[in-house]
A and B are shown apart, each in its own frame.
Chain A
Amino acid sequence: MAADYDLVIIGAGPGGLTAGLYAGRAMMKVLVLEKLVPGGQIIVTDWIENYPGFPDGISGFDMGEKMKTHMLNFGAVIETAEVQSVDFSDWVKKIELNDKTITAKSVILAPGAAPRPLNIGEEKFIGKGVSFCATCDAPFFKGKTVVAVGGGDTAVQEALYLTKFADKVYLVHRRDELRATKILQERAFANNKIEIIWDSVVTGMDGLFSVENVIVENVKTKEKKPLAANGCFIWIGILPNTEFLDGDVELDESGFIVTDPHMATSVKGVFAVGDARNTPLRQVATAVGDGAIAALSAEHYIENM
């Protein structure tokens, strides 16, 4: 049985697009499947300033477009489709889409991740004050007060972006120190629009039509208080988009795909890259590196089949 493709890449974020570029350049027949739009999480990132080669920074959307164009130039093809399930039991891997099954000699999993929700009933306020995307929604909060939740790079960087519009930004963080890189911390401490609420978590929110109050609880004193705010931006980490891989490859206890240094998963011929992988750092730069390695590994695997 012949396979439709040498390589199918699931996900068109920076990791998947780089793997596609390398594989296309190696003259492999490559298909990249993307359920939304190429670019991945960088599409909702206002400005990327830590990717080498762009000393003035670049908007996430523009970077995604450039990576997509760059990959297409080397012959890989993108199709918009959501993978329903996979079957890796045979040497020809099967990928089930809504309307068809496609087959490949090798697969690179690059499904990325999605923002982790608070799970405190905030869903009903999504689009009505609750947001995961400052670059989309910050301008709606001009002159208002907003809450940003989290203490990592994303939370602090986006809280800083919010200060361009909002009059006041409460940064609510569950610990007594930030996890974000030092340069971002210093900018946050120096910004007089940002007030950090330490040792605290968001436990609820209320409002008639949209968010009016965000309830925070101090984890040490257990004291609860409402913050009058019109918006709540949530950046408390990510969840890997690996549900469709249920039982097909080894995942760690948090649902991230387990790989070796060659990006090989527990299944021969199946590789994984980027934010969905069990990696110590989740950046565009690391996803790109993963993608290059995985493409080479896939090429070697096919040559030795």
Chain B
Amino acid sequence: MAGIIELDDDSFEDEVLKAELPIMVDFWAPWCGPCKAIGPTVEALEKTYGEKMNFVKVNVDENPVTPSKYGIQAIPTLLFFKGGEVVDTITGMVAKEKLEESIKKVI
């Protein structure tokens, strides 16, 4: 997939739960400094691993249903899905190596 696609509550099920490839969902909001801060790291990882898995974003401000369904009470939160199931969760700002570790486990 080219680039990081922005999903909403309506497209989430089709794009994430029915996805063939593993997928990383970045829950973020415009008022969240750390979310903006990890943006470039996530973009760089998408360039490296974008062939093997998909990277998407969900703005929690505009899409309250999905974060609430997954019990998200903190951002940035990154959920890793495989076969429609959450297989890994990262909460808060973490180093690039830590993100890479989770990506390697899922692909």
| Residues of A that sit less than 8 Å from B by CB | 35-37, 39, 43-45, 59-61, 64, 80, 82, 98, 126-129, 131, 133, 135-137, 139-141, 209-210, 231
Contacts and interface: CB of A to CB of B under 8 A. Distances in A.
Contact of A61 (B36, B71, B89, B91): B36
Nearest to A135: B33
B3 to A, nearest CB: 21
Interface residues of B, number: 28
Contacts of A126: 74, 91-92
Contacts of B41: 37, 80
11 contacts: A36-B37, A43-B33, A80-B95, A127-B74, A127-B77, A133-B74, A136-B33, A136-B35, A136-B74, A139-B61, A140-B74
B38 to A, nearest CB: 7
A61 B36 CA distance: 8
B73 A128 contact: yes
In the complex, which of the residues B29, B41, B89, B93 has the most CB atoms of chain A within 10 Å of its own CB atom? B93
B73 A129 contact: yes
Interface in B51-107: 60-61, 71-77, 89, 91-97
B38 A82 contact: no
A137 B75 contact: yes
Nearest to A42: B33
